Structures are given as structure tokens and as C-alpha cells.
Structure 1
Amino acid sequence: MRTVQIVEAKARFSALLAAVEAGEEIAITRHGKVVARLVPDRPRMASELFRPMWDHADEMDLEAPADLIPEPVSESLD
């Protein structure tokens, strides 16, 4: 991953975006600390987002709660 300072990122933003479109990841730093990352956008499946959760499924309580008793509905519309 390439690292650039904020000043350089501002001056070369279009070139950095072209590099990101080509698949490169770029870290933007301020005073030597990473404050942002430019990464290529790619479509993701919902299963990708939940994969870490399923790795620990045995530690989770996946039982559905009991249904609530329905409440009566008043017919008057005040």
C-alpha cells in the first residue's frame, strides 16, 4: 500500500483516484499517522459482511424470542 501525505493527496487527487481504480490501495497521512485510506470500490455480497459473525456462531444465542400476545385494537378514531 502506497502512503502519501495530505498535501500530496490534495495536489494529485485525480492521479491517486486513477491508481485506486487500477486496484491500488493508498494510505493518506497527516504528521506520519494514517488518517484515511483510498481503496477500490467493489460490489459485496451480504454473506461477506456477515461471515465474521458465522465464524463464532457457536458462541451466539440464535433462538428467537417468544411471540407477544396481541393487544386489542380500538375501533374509534378520535
Structure 2
Amino acid sequence: MDARSTEFSVADAKARFSELIARAEAGEEITIKRHGKPVARLVPEKRKLTIEERRQAHRDWVAYRDKHKPTLGPDLTIKQLIEEGRRF
């Protein structure tokens, strides 16, 4: 468990459910145990990206991909590489 995780028994979780929901909303992970064994977790809901954030992430990914494209070198072609691979 990380530093932001807290454990409660089923009985305690039932009695303090509203509080535990508020704590999960604030970013805390809550582990619920029965007889000392974890049986459930309350975790914060992940914020969904807006359409503009998704578009920007895609543009960033395309820019990164284009910047880091592998190259074959000035004198190599795909056909030459395939033919070389077939020799073995």
C-alpha cells in the first residue's frame, strides 16, 4: 500500500461510508477488509480528458513520433533490407 491508502474493516466502512467517499474524492485510496483480508477498494474516479485535451495529446504524440522516426540511412531501402534478410 502506498502512503495515500487507508484500511478499514467492513463494519467501520459501513458506519463511515459518507466520510470514506469524501476521502476518495479527495484522492485517497481506501482498502476495505473482512477478517483482515482485503475485499474491496474505494479509489478516486479518474478525470476524463476533454476533447481538446485529447486532440492536443494526439498532436503531441504525432510530433514526437515524427521527430523520432527510425531511419535506414542514406543508401538503404526497405527492399534491400528484405533481400538481405532472405539470404539467411
TM-score normalised over the length of structure 2? 0.48
> Partner residue of 2:32?
28
In the alignment, structure 2 segments of 5+ residues that lack a partner are 50-88
The residue correspondences of 1:34-53 to structure 2 (distance < 5 A) are 34-43=38-47
Give the count of matched residue pairs.
Answer: 45
| Letter paired with 1:26 | I
The structural deviation recorded for 1:44 is 5.6
- Decide which of 6, 9, 13 is 1:5's aligned counterpart: 9
> Partner residue of 1:19?
23
How many angstroms apart in 2 are the aligned matches of 1:15 and 1:39? 13
Larger Rg: 2
In the alignment, structure 1 segments of 5+ residues that lack a partner are 46-78
SS of the aligned residue for 2:27 comes to: coil
SS of the aligned residue for 2:14 comes to: helix
TM-score normalised over the length of structure 1? 0.54
CA RMSD between the two structures: 1.3
Richer in helix (by share)? 2
The structural deviation recorded for 1:43 is 3.7
How many angstroms apart in 2 are the aligned matches of 1:41 and 1:11? 22
